[in-house]
């Protein structure tokens, strides 16, 4: 049994991660690097230090508690020399305001189960359950399988949100314990997919076909990124791929940038700073384009 998973958030009362009211567990680590990612704290498979300067009161407690001498001040807020920082999290543990925060917590199955069971009655009344998300949860495959098994022993509904960029063997193992896959199809063209997400679309499409043709429950989701995957040829290719595999519904997730501030907190670059979310008219046009190809869409914000 895999003893601990690295988790960056457990979100109770989720309404958009599968049926009913759900608890969503976010796993750290992702093979993709989608330019539009709004959960950048899920990309790295290691713990990270997050810095919110707006919360900093300039008390220098972090400076005093850093055993590596990685923190200095040349203004009101700390500067972390990441080439020295050992991610021990002593600064975050001692920061009185939460301006420094450790992202990623190692958790056992029992610890996660205890969180999940707080909402068991809500799951039963709403038809909900748990959803594993990320990052890419299947990066932590052994732990995920153990967690899904534990949930099934408790008769709790399980959903897995995946990029599909995993081995077919991993997917087969996980599908035994998964009631529903929330499957992301972003860009089907292999070169474009590589350019904007860092991965090839081929295994993603192959795995989608496997799940669709082998009776797995699937909700296919497509983030709609203006100027990147909303052109007509791509919408038609997406519709054809869905129809060829017996799927006639698609969940559209309009691009947003409400997580852009997280890039600053993680000292990362956000390349789509200037990109605006799709307008109502753009969304309507895309929905109409899919409908004309025989695909109905829902839209989650």
* Interface ranges with ligand SF4 (CB under 6 A): 49, 56-62, 65-66, 68, 70-71, 78, 80, 85-91, 95-97, 99-100
Write down the least CB distance from residue 99 to ligand SF4, Å. 4
Query: How many CB atoms neighbour CB 235 within 10 A?
Result: 22
Closest to ligand SF4 by CB, 83 vs 281, is 83
Residue 177, token pair as written in the block: 């314990």
Smallest CA-to-CA distance from 35 within 261, 290, 260, 280 is with 260
Burial of residue 122 (number of CB atoms within 10 Å: 0-12, 13-18, 19+) = middle
Using the Cα atoms of residue 282, residue 288, residue 293 and residue 298 in order, give the sign of their dihedral: positive
Write down how long the chain is.
Answer: 301
* For ligand SF4, the closer CB: 23 or 51: 51
Least gap, CB of 8 to ligand SF4 (angstroms):
16
Question: Are the C-beta atoms of 204 and 242 separated by less than 8 Å?
Answer: no
DSSP states of 173-191 = HHHTT-SEEEEE----SHH
Q: How far is the CB of 291 from ligand SF4 (least distance, A)?
A: 51
Shortest distance, position 106 Cβ to ligand SF4, whole Å: 16
- Minimum Å distance from CB 37 to ligand SF4? 24
What residues form DSSP beta bridges with 218?
181
Q: How far is the CB of 264 from ligand SF4 (least distance, A)?
A: 14
Q: Kindly state the smallest distance separating residue 60's Cβ from ligand SF4, in Å.
A: 5
CA dihedral for 25, 29, 30, 31, sign (positive or negative): negative
Q: Given the complex with ligand SF4, which of 67 and 215 has the nearer CB atom? A: 67
Which residues make Cβ contacts (< 8 Å) with residue 63, sequence separation at least 6? 71, 72, 73, 78
Minimum distance of ligand SF4 from residue 196's CB (angstroms): 32
Cβ partners under 8 Å of residue 233, min gap 6 = none
Cβ distance to ligand SF4 smaller for residue 51 or 207: 51
Whichever of 46 and 114 has its CB closer to ligand SF4, that residue is 46
Buried b or exposed e, range 152-178, using 16+ CB within 10 angstroms: eeeebbbbbbbbbbbeeebbebbbebb
Q: Which is nearer to ligand SF4, 50 or 183 (CB)?
A: 50
Strands 100-103 and 105-108: unpaired
Alpha-carbon separation of residue 203 from 38, 163, 168, 216 (angstroms): 23, 10, 8, 17
Measured CA to CA, the distance from residue 66 to residue 85 in angstroms comes to 9
- In the bound state with ligand SF4, the residue whose beta carbon lies nearer, of 65 and 216, is 65
Q: Which is nearer to ligand SF4, 16 or 86 (CB)?
A: 86
């Amino acid at each position: 049994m895999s003893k601990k998973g690295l988790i960056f958030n457990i979100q109770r009362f989720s309404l958009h991660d599968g049926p009913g009211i759900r608890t969503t567990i976010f796993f750290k680590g992702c093979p993709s690097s989608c330019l539009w990612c709004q959960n950048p704290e899920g990309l790295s498979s290691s713990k990270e230090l997050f810095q919110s300067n707006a919360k900093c009161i300039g008390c220098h407690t972090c400076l005093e508690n850093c055993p590596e001498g990685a923190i200095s001040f040349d203004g009101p807020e700390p500067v972390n020399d990441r080439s020295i920082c050992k991610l021990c999290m002593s600064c975050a543990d001692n920061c009185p305001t939460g301006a420094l925060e450790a992202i990623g917590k190692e958790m056992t199955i029992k610890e996660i189960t205890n969180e999940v069971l707080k909402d068991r009655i809500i799951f039963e009344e709403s038809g909900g359950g748990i959803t594993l998300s990320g990052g890419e949860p299947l990066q932590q495959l052994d732990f995920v399988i153990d967690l899904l098994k534990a949930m099934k022993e408790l008769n709790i509904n399980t959903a897995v949100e995946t990029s599909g960029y995993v081995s077919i063997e991993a997917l087969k193992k996980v599908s035994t314990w998964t009631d529903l896959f929330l499957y992301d199809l972003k860009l089907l063209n292999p070169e474009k997919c590589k350019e904007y997400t860092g991965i090839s679309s081929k295994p993603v499409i192959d795995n989608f076909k496997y799940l669709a043709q082998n009776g797995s429950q699937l909700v296919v989701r497509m983030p709609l990124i203006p100027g990147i995957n909303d052109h007509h040829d791509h919408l038609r290719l997406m519709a054809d791929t869905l129809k060829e595999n017996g799927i006639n519904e698609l969940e559209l997730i309009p691009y947003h940038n409400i997580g852009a501030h997280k890039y600053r907190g993680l000292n990362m670059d956000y390349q789509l700073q200037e990109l605006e979310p799709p307008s109502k008219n753009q969304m309507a046009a895309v929905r109409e384009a899919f409908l004309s190809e025989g695909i109905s869409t829902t839209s989650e914000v």
